[in-house]
Structure 1
């Protein structure tokens, strides 16, 4: 039997085996001493958006498909999908960093536009030039 099948969860929600921290993939950075919570419990920790709580389906989508290139770390414990509060913090921090990079790229002028370009003329200016 594999090591993953032999892992047991302690009463306080922590894994006794530390193989999760060595695994590649979505669970790669979940540390063995982080307390696991289900995605249902994780949804309760998040603030409401427009008066509605964040859906469990949304959290699952962040785990599987990601959001703008960032993925929420998770592990499967039997039939349950679990994450940690620390993993959620890392996910939202990564999203904030992506926002900062996108904003910086959005407002930076490309080198081709930094050169002085001729000014566009209006139809009135064209008429004056023809007269």
Structure 2
């Protein structure tokens, strides 16, 4: 006999997803807003999105295991996400994809290092604690 499929109560599942979204966005935003502000574009044409917010959306899409089509249908019109990012309209999937192509591996590695540094335990020199 196989193991039974255990389903969560849909209300509990919804609460879990909401908390995951809130904490994920808060952590990603706290690191992303440390990055330098984008240059203000002058001239005609549509103003570009803040690259820091699009970086948060790119990483959040990956963390939540969403495809670009899922992003378009589920995340793009989520009022909670718009409120957390303080933006009226989230970029479309093509914009998120185009921005993700511009991020270099070096930039993403540095961002990831800042993100993980808070949870990595630093080595402790035990001999330095004692005065001999």
Instruction: Indicate the TM-score class for this superposition, using the shorter chain for normalisation.
Output: under 0.3
TM-score (norm 1): 0.26
Of Structure 1 and Structure 2, the greater strand share is in: 1
Which structure would you say has the larger RCO, counting Cα contacts within 8 Å and 6 or more residues apart? 2
Of Structure 1 and Structure 2, the greater helix share is in: 2
TM-score (norm 2): 0.26
Structure index of larger Rg: 1
